Structure 1
C-alpha cells in the first residue's frame, strides 16, 4: 500500500504544474469566447475558480487522499467534465471548443492511455449536457480575431508543458532501466558481476582476442576451505570473507579488468591486454594481500586463495576451452597444497 501511495503522490506532483498552466491559459481562451455572450455573473466567478483555484484544490484532494493515484484519476475526469461544460457554454465556438477538448484528450491519453481517454470523453459529455440544461443547446460558428489570439497561448505553451513532463518522465524511466539492468548483472553480496554476465563478457573478449590477435588472461580464484569457515564460524563471517575478497579485487585490478563471482566461493577475472606472466604477478600480490585479512571478532581466522590462470591461445576453439584451461590450473593449485597461484600448461608449460 505504501508503494502505491508513493507512486500516486508522484503522479499528482507531475500533474500539478501542467494543470496550473493549462487551466490558467485555458481560462483566457474561454473568457474570449464568453465575452460576446450574455452570461450571468456566477459563470465568470466559476471560470475564475476553475482557471486559477481548481488546480490547487485538486492537488490537495489527491495528496490527502488514502489512494492518491485514484484521486488524481478522478480529478482528471473533473477536468474533462469542466472542459465539456466550457465548450458547450461558449456555444461550441470552433477554435475555442476544439482547443479545450483536444487538450483535455491529450491530457487523458498521456496520463492514463485509452481507458482514461474514453472515460474522459464520457465526462466531457456530462459537462456538455450540464451546460445545455443551463443555457440551451446553441452553436456559434463565428471566430473572432480576439478568440484566435486568446487560443494561441493554449496551443503553444500547454503542449510545451506536457512535453517537458513527458521528457522528465522518460529520463527517470531511462535511469531506472539502467539501474535495473545493472542490478540484473551484479551479484548482490559482492557487487561484482554475476555468473551469467561474466560468462557473456568472456565470450566477447574471446572473440575480440581472436579477431585482433591480442593478449588476455583469465583467472579463477577459490577461497580455500570456505565451507569449513561457514560451518565453524557461520555464514555471516563467510559473507564478510567474500566481501573482503571482492574489495581486494577492486583495489588491485585495473579499471578495465572484469571481476565476477562465478559461484559460491569461486571468483573469476578477465585481464585484457595482459600476458600470463604479468597476470601471475598480479594474482600473487592478491593472494599475499588476502592472506593478511583478519576478522576483528575472530582473530584466529586465517584465509587463503588458490588461483588458476590461463592466457588466450589461438588454438582455442571457443571460450569454454579457455575457461577449462583456467579451471584445470585451479584444480592443480588445490591438488598441490592450495594457497598458491598456478598457470595453465596448455598448450605449452609455463612457470609461476
Structure 2
C-alpha cells in the first residue's frame, strides 16, 4: 500500500460526515427558502460528491492492491499469481494518477470560479491599430465561447474610427466561465504591420482585457431608489427603430467604497437591445458586478500576495501575452509558453494555452499546500 494512502483516505473519510450533512440540508425546506444559503450548499455538495466518488475508487484500489500482494506471497496456484501480478500492475499504474486528482480536489476552491463573467476589452496604446486589435481579441473570444457552448452578449460597445473597438463590454454565461477566462486578464500586446502603414513597418500596439466574476443579486446590496436613470436614442446599426425610440439607458449611482470610505459616482450605459427594460436589467447587472469587483479587491489582493504563481492574480496592468504576426508566434510570459499557430489561436483555438496556465497554477498551489 502506498505510504500516503492512509493520509489521503483519512482526509477523505473526515469529509464523509460533512457530505452526508450537506446532502440532508439541501432537501430541508427552510434551507431551500434561503436562496443564498441553498446556492452555497448545493455548490459544496457537488464538490463533496466528486470527492466521495474518488474516495470510493481509491479505497477499492488500495484494498485490491493489498489483497493481490497477499495472494502473490501466500498462494501456490500459478494462474492466481499471474492474475494477482496483473492486478498489482494496474493498481500501481492508476494510484499515482488518482492521488494527483485527489490532491487537486482537496485544494480550497476559489468561490468565484463557477460564476459567469463580465468581459471588458479596451484598445490601449496604438490608436486605430489598438482598436482594431481589440476587435480581433473580441472575435477570438467569441469563437472560443462558441466552442465551449457559452452564451456571449454585448452590453456596450464603442467602435474605433478605423474599425474594431475602443471599448467593448459583454457578459459570458455558461459552465465555470470565470474560472476559465480569468487567466485572460491583463495587457495583450500585438506586433504587426498596421493596415494604414504604407512602408511596411512593424508596429507594437496593445489592448487590455479585464475578466470580472459576474455578481449575483444577493452578492451586493444596492439601494435602487438612489439610482438616477436617463434614456437616450441608441446609435448605430439596427434599423430605423433604434434611432427613433429611446431604448438606450444610462444609470448614475453614488457608491461608498467600504475599503477606502470614499464616495464615487458610477456611470454605466447599456444600448444592447431595442427593449429599454432589458437594457435597464443589464445595466443593473453591470452595476452589481462593478461594485462586487471593487468591494472584493482586498480579497483578490490577499489571494495574489499569498500565491507563488502570478498566473491569475487579476492584475490588469501586467503584460501577459504577445501576438507577433510576422513570425506567426504567440508568447505567454507567465509560463514561458510559445507556439507558432497564431492564425488558429486568433480563430478561438486558445484552450491549450489556458490548460497550461491552469496546470501551472494548480502545481504552484499544491506546492504551497505541501509547505503549510
Going by fraction, where is strand more abundant, 1 or 2?
2
User: What is the TM-score when the length of structure 1 is the normalising length?
Assistant: 0.26
Going by fraction, where is helix more abundant, 1 or 2?
1
Rg larger in structure: 1
User: What is the TM-score when the length of structure 2 is the normalising length?
Assistant: 0.25
